[in-house]
Every structure is written in C-alpha cells, then in structure tokens.
C-alpha cells in the first residue's frame, strides 16, 4: 500500500468528517494541496477597506514625486514610478515592510458618485451616491465569483451605536447589504455559526475558539506532516490573536458598563479603535479559516457619520474635515494620525496572511486588498481623482507591483474611472465585465468601458 496515497485519503476523510467545525475549510485546503489540485489549494481572496473622510492624494506620493500646488495633475499618459529606493509618505509608513506588494493608484475619477461628503453606495457601485442602492456593488459582484461559507463578510464601525449599517454595499437595486458594526454580533455570527449545535448556546465573546477545535486539532496532527503542520499552527495562531482581542473587548465592555452613569453617550464613542481592531481580527480569522473569500471592512457609516476617536483626542472627524486640529499643528496631523492607525490594522492583516503557507507561497500571494475612502480625495470631494491603494497581486493577476501609477488626467483620451477599476477586479475574479455602474456624462466622448490595461497581467 502506498503510504502517501493512504495519507491523502485520510486527509480527505478528515476534512469531510470535520463537518461544520472551524477546522473543515483549512483541512480541505491542505488535502487539495496534497492531492495536487492547484486551483483548490490556492483560493483567491479580495478585501475591500473603506475609510471615511477622504484620502489625501499627497498620502500616496512616495519621495521624489510632487503634485501641482493647485488643481490636479494634467498628464495625458500614464506615469509609472517604481517604489524601490523611495520612502512612503508617513501616513503609509506601516506598509514599508511590504512596499514591494503595493500599487499606489492615482488619477482615477468617480464623478458619477459625487455627494457633499460620503458617496455611500456609489463608492462601491460607481453610480450616484445620494440615491440609495441603485444596483449591485463591486464587493458583492466579486463575492459571487469567489464562493465561501459566507460568500461576503461585511464588518465595520459606523460612527454611531447602530448594530448594522446599510450605507455601502448592495446586492441589487433597492437591496442594501448590512454591514455588521457590533464586534459581538460579528464574532457570534461568523464563528458561533460553525461550532457544533450543543456548544452554540454557550458561545459568546468570552469563548475560546481553540477549545471548540481541540479534538479535531489532536486528530489532525496525527495525519499532517512538515509544511502542513506549519500551516495548521499559523492558522491556530490567528485564533489565539482573535481570542486575545476579544478578551480586550470584553474587558472594555465590562468597564463601560461599570462606569455607564459617567460615560453616557460616550460609551460607544470611546471604544472606536477597539471596535475596528476587533473587526479586523474577526475578518482576518475568517479569511484564514476559509469561511469567506470576500470581505468588506468600513470605518465610518456613510453620509456625515465619520466616527469619533476621543482616545486619540480626535472627538469629531467632521471637525477635522473643516480644519480642526485638536491641539495639533493642523488638521492634516489628525488625518495622518488616523491614517496611520488604519494602515497599521491593514498591515497586521497582511502580516498574518503572509505567515500562512499556501501552495508554493502564502495566503497573501493569493489575496488582493483594495483600500480607499468612501469620499474619494477629500472631506468635501470633487472626485476628479480618487486615490486607491492595492496590496497584493491576486495570484499573479496584476502585471506587477511595487509601483506608483499616475493615470491620465480627467477628460484626457485615455482617462480611467473607478468603474474601470471595478471592471478590472471582476476580470481578475473570473467574471469579465466591460461596463460597471453608471457612465460619467462628463466623459461622454471618452471610452469608459473595460479594465485598466496598466494593471492587467
């Protein structure tokens, strides 16, 4: 009897008999790799991250590049600069360890989604942002091509006490997709649904997920060898990190309850950073577990709900958008500090995905993170440009990374829009699409169809 064939059979059987437990997706992936199934062993993932209050285009400029003092760049052709040997803006400093994975994308427009603040559903839908969900948004469209236990996981912080936000994602005209803004609900909804029935009633924020996996882990270790065990160990580390973060959240919640008479309305506002940290941990663990392949993470709740971060002495993000510095030299210092906080969360996700072997590389090799603001380039956007940061290359779908791209300016013959970017993402996901959302009437003489050639491998 061939020992390797026997081991593969045991792996396959173990992945199947794990049923609805947390180990089932990861064991199925290991079994696929052992069987030589390259497609199943390297599943693609896409993460959409939106931060409120605009993304200053200056934050995407590496050292040596400048912008016009007034207005937007007027280049008629794409200008490409390698990031190697250049310093990132301090706002993106947490991205330095994986600078070679970055694509800093500037010059895209999104005028069709224009609003006075957030573009709401238009940010992901490429359609007017002040008329509700007019159609399917790109995150949902991508999720239809990348199925999982949860086809689309949407988590965030809304800037208010609401458990659900309906401001950004949509599955069809008039059908907003809820974004879970409570870490408690997110944790239970994702992981409570995949523990066995007898344990479900006792499952809450205080649960140690490793306890629910103990028997399966013990059984799996008798079958796994070498890199397979390493992958399992990295997988379990993600749950240990999630456990620690949830413990912090529980402690904070207990503290808030204890002092509720003093905190009043600040009870929610004072834990904004912890909410986002918990949501990022839950989303990362869900990706690692194979429970989902498409995630939307939001910081802000659309319209003028930007959030409050009193823990950073930034009690009102709307004030920052209008110049309030809150003891700093300028409001820009506030913007940079908040950008650094968010990019640290993203960097932590990249680090964890990069630590887990997958195929001949890591999970991050098969992942793409799309990071931008729901209000384009500013608090009060004009959307002649909409800065975007791409991290990763989605299993080689990008032509190359480690570069800054300044795409042709608005109304030039080769100008591209956010809709073109969304077409690109759908091409990569396996659903070739040449038109997405609503065309910009200000570009009626410009071809607005198809993916962005500079990004296609």
Q: Which pLDDT score is estimated for 379? A: 87
In a domain, 77, yes or no: no
Domain count, the chain: 1
In a domain, 406, yes or no: no
In contact, 196 and 152? CB cutoff 8 Å: no
Q: Which pLDDT score is estimated for 402? A: 99
Instruction: Name the token pair of 151.
Output: 């086809």
Residue 417 to residue 335: CA distance in whole angstroms: 25
* 153 bridge partner residues: 295
Q: In 124-138, which positions are buried (b, 16+ CB within 10 angstroms) versus exposed (e)?
A: bbbbbbeebbbbbbb
Residue 197 to residue 425: CA distance in whole angstroms: 38
Residue 155 to residue 284: CA distance in whole angstroms: 11
| Rg value, the chain, Cα | 22
In a domain, 146, yes or no: yes
- Expressed as residue numbers, the domain containing 336 is 25-70+82-367+414-443
Instruction: Map tokens 């603001």 to a residue.
Output: 373
In a domain, 386, yes or no: no
Instruction: Name the token pair of 439.
Output: 């065309």
In a domain, 3, yes or no: no
In contact, 363 and 45? CB cutoff 8 Å: yes
Q: Which pLDDT score is estimated for 419? A: 99
In a domain, 256, yes or no: yes
Instruction: Map tokens 């989902």 to a residue.
Output: 292
Instruction: Map tokens 């932590």 to a residue.
Output: 348
Q: Which three-class secondary structure state does DSSP give residue 79? A: strand
In a domain, 350, yes or no: yes
Q: Which pLDDT score is estimated for 216? A: 67
Average pLDDT along the chain, 457 residues, taken 10 residues at a time: 52 48 68 68 93 96 94 96 98 98 99 92 96 96 92 91 90 94 82 55 55 65 70 71 64 49 35 89 88 95 82 82 84 92 98 89 96 94 97 96 98 98 98 97 96 96
Q: Which pLDDT score is estimated for 400? A: 95
Residue 240 to residue 254: CA distance in whole angstroms: 21
In a domain, 42, yes or no: yes
In contact, 291 and 149? CB cutoff 8 Å: yes
Q: Which pLDDT score is estimated for 257? A: 47
H/E element, 167:
strand 164-172
Residue 255 to residue 263: CA distance in whole angstroms: 10
Residue 92 to residue 95: CA distance in whole angstroms: 6
Instruction: Name the token pair of 95.
Output: 């991205």
């Amino acid at each position: 009897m061939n020992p390797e064939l026997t081991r593969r059979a045991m792996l396959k059987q173990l992945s199947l008999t794990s049923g609805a437990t947390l180990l089932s997706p990861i064991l199925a992936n290991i079994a696929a790799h052992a069987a030589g199934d390259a497609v199943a062993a390297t599943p693609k993932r896409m993460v959409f991250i939106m931060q409120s209050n605009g993304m200053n285009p200056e934050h995407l400029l590496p050292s040596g590049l400048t912008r016009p003092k007034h207005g937007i760049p007027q280049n008629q052709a794409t200008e490409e600069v390698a990031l190697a040997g250049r310093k990132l803006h301090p706002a993106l400093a947490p991205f330095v360890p994986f600078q070679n994975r970055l694509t800093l994308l500037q010059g895209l427009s999104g005028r069709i989604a224009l609003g006075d603040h957030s573009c709401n559903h238009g940010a992901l839908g490429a359609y007017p942002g002040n008329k509700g969900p007019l159609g399917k948004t790109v995150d949902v469209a991508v999720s239809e091509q990348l199925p999982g236990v949860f086809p689309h996981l949407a988590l965030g912080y809304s800037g208010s006490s609401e458990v659900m936000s309906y401001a950004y994602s949509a599955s069809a005209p008039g059908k907003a997709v809820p974004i879970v803004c409570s870490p408690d609900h997110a944790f239970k909804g994702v992981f409570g649904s995949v523990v066995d029935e007898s344990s479900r009633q006792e499952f809450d924020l205080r649960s140690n997920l490793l306890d629910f996996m103990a028997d399966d882990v013990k059984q799996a270790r008798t079958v796994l060898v070498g890199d397979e065990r390493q992958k399992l160990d990295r997988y379990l580390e993600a749950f240990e990190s999630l456990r620690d973060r949830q413990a912090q959240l529980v402690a904070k919640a207990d503290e808030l309850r204890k002092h509720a008479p003093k905190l009043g309305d600040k009870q929610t506002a004072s834990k904004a950073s912890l909410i986002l940290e918990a949501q990022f941990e839950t989303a990362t663990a869900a990706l690692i577990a194979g429970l989902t392949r498409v995630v939307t993470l939001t910081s802000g709740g659309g319209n003028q709900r930007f959030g409050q971060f009193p823990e950073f002495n930034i009690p009102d993000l709307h004030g920052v958008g209008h110049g309030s510095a809150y003891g700093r030299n300028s409001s820009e210092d506030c913007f940079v500090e908040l950008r650094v906080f968010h990019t640290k969360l993203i960097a932590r996700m990249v680090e964890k995905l990069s630590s887990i072997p997958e195929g001949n590389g890591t999970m991050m090799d098969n992942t793409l993170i799309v990071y931008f603001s729901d209000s384009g380039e500013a608090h009060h956007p004009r959307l002649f440009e909409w800065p975007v940061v791409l991290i990763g290359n989605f299993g080689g779908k990008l032509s190359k990374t480690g570069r800054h791209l300044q795409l042709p300016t608005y109304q030039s013959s080769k100008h591209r829009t956010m809709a073109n970017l969304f077409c690109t993402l759908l091409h990569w996901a396996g659903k070739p699409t040449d038109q997405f959302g609503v065309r910009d009437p200000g570009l009626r003489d410009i071809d607005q169809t198809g993916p962005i050639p500079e990004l296609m491998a």
